[in-house]
Amino acid sequence: MRTQVGIIGAGPAGLLLSHLLHLRGIDSVVLELRGREQIESTIRAGVLEQGTMDALAEAGVGDRMKTEGALHHGFELAFEGKRRRIDLTGLTGKSITVYAQHEVLKDLVAARVAADGKIFFNVSNTSIHGIESDTPSIRFTHEDEEHELYCDYVIGCDGSQGVSRASIPAALRRDYERVFPFGWFGILVEAPPTSDELIYARHDRGFALVSTRSQTVQRMYFQCDPKDRVENWTDDRIWAELHARVDSLEGHEVVEGRIFQKNIVGMRSFVSTTMQHGRLFLAGDAAHIVPPTGAKGLNLAVWDVRVLTAALVAFYEESRTDLLDAYSETALRRIWRAGQFSYWMTRMMHRLDDASPFEQRLQIAELEHVTTSRAAATAMAENYVGAVAV
């Protein structure tokens, strides 16, 4: 089997890269461990930056995002019993769209299928070979048959547990990681929106986030012990915690409803350098993970793909390799910038067990600053919508 670009992973990065290459006449094959139904039904939140919205629209897969996604021009910061709004559009001229990641995946899969794109679902025993040669290959098993896919380049979009990153020799990689001592307890709720925009809440009991999924379904999170168990939280206990952390002195309250999903997720920051070796390139979670506080995960994956697409187009259309050679350096500039912003927001909004009372008051002072200083609010807004130059 032969193609130009072999892509491991049918997440947002792998599928968008495959489709963007297709639009420029470059052939690719996508290999995915999971089944189509599984990737399209795994519910994950999605806050799309302006650049991500533009990329999906330009790729011709943005119609449902525009009609079904919720366009937001700001968000609220809740602390000390009050709420203050960050006016994203007024400060930056840009906005965000809340559109779940699995909906993005549905749109991308449909686009690839409509274009007769080659996607192999439910593959196993995937391994990468010859990345230091001009003819790398990917071996895999599909429907009980062994295959070998020969290509010009291999792109690893297979997440933090995939085979791609491990295929770069450990001596050439350096991994940076920060594991946070807290997690998020997430719920999906049948209820009308609590607010027209996202609410990020800082409370002495811990962080909380209220997000609108639709006019009838809401996504909410609150800080918890990552070792806690879902079974320990009754619905009544969950609502008591959210009311304590989010309700304001002005009378704003969390709207309750039927909880139909509960889960606990850990929090960490991770960056692996380098993101390339020989004919292998990494994109998305295969190379970096950020805590969801700054809403950067999906957006960073799309940024990687945009950089890679430009580099591969330059190679196939102009026989240039300079952009491919500079891929890791180019991508990492934005990754570290987004990582810093996500870390800053996480430290400012969460209850930190190792923080002294003095440091806890500094969190409040910082929130006062970003919500009363136009310069500070602008810096926050630029980072949030992805408008920061790198």
According to the model, what pLDDT value does residue 39 have? 84
According to the model, what pLDDT value does residue 388 have? 77
According to the model, what pLDDT value does residue 240 have? 97
Q: What percent of the chain has pLDDT over 70?
A: 99
Q: Which residue has the tokens 């790398």?
A: 136
CB count, 10 Å around CB of 234? 10
Alpha-carbon torsion, ordered 329, 330, 332, 335, to 10 deg: 180
According to the model, what pLDDT value does residue 1 have? 93
According to the model, what pLDDT value does residue 46 have? 84
The residues near 209 (Cβ < 8 Å, ≥ 6 apart) are 184, 198, 199, 200, 201, 220, 221, 222
Look up the CATH superfamily of 5-70+96-176+268-344: FAD/NAD(P)-binding domain (3.50.50.60)
According to the model, what pLDDT value does residue 389 have? 67
- Predicted TM-score (pTM) of the model is 0.93
Q: How far is CA 232 from the centre of its chain?
A: 28
Active site residues: 72, 200, 292, 296, 384
What number of residues does the chain have? 390
According to the model, what pLDDT value does residue 387 have? 82
Query: How many distinct helices (H) and strands (E) make up the chain?
Result: 12, 20
Phi, psi for 182 (deg, rounded to 5): -140, 165
According to the model, what pLDDT value does residue 232 have? 97
Q: What is the pLDDT of residues 258-280, one digit of tens each?
A: 999 999 999 999 999 999 999 99
Would you list the domain boundaries of the chain?
Answer: 5-70+96-176+268-344
Burial-class residue 119 by CB neighbours within 10 Å (0-12, 13-18, 19+): buried
Residue-level pLDDT, tens digit, the chain, 390 residues:
999 999 999 999 999 999 999 999 999 999 999 999 888 877 677 899 999 999 999 999 999 999 999 899 999 999 999 999 999 999 999 999 999 888 999 999 999 999 999 999 999 999 999 999 999 999 999 999 999 999 999 999 999 899 999 999 999 999 999 999 999 999 999 999 999 999 999 999 999 999 988 889 899 999 999 999 999 999 999 999 999 999 988 888 999 999 999 999 999 999 999 999 999 999 999 999 999 999 999 999 999 999 999 999 999 999 999 999 999 999 999 999 999 999 999 999 999 988 899 999 999 999 999 999 999 999 999 999 998 766
According to the model, what pLDDT value does residue 42 have? 73
Helix (H, G, I), strand (E, B) or coil at 165: helix
According to the model, what pLDDT value does residue 212 have? 83
Q: What is the pLDDT of residues 131-160, one digit of tens each?
A: 999 999 999 999 999 999 999 999 999 998
Helix (H, G, I), strand (E, B) or coil at 151: coil
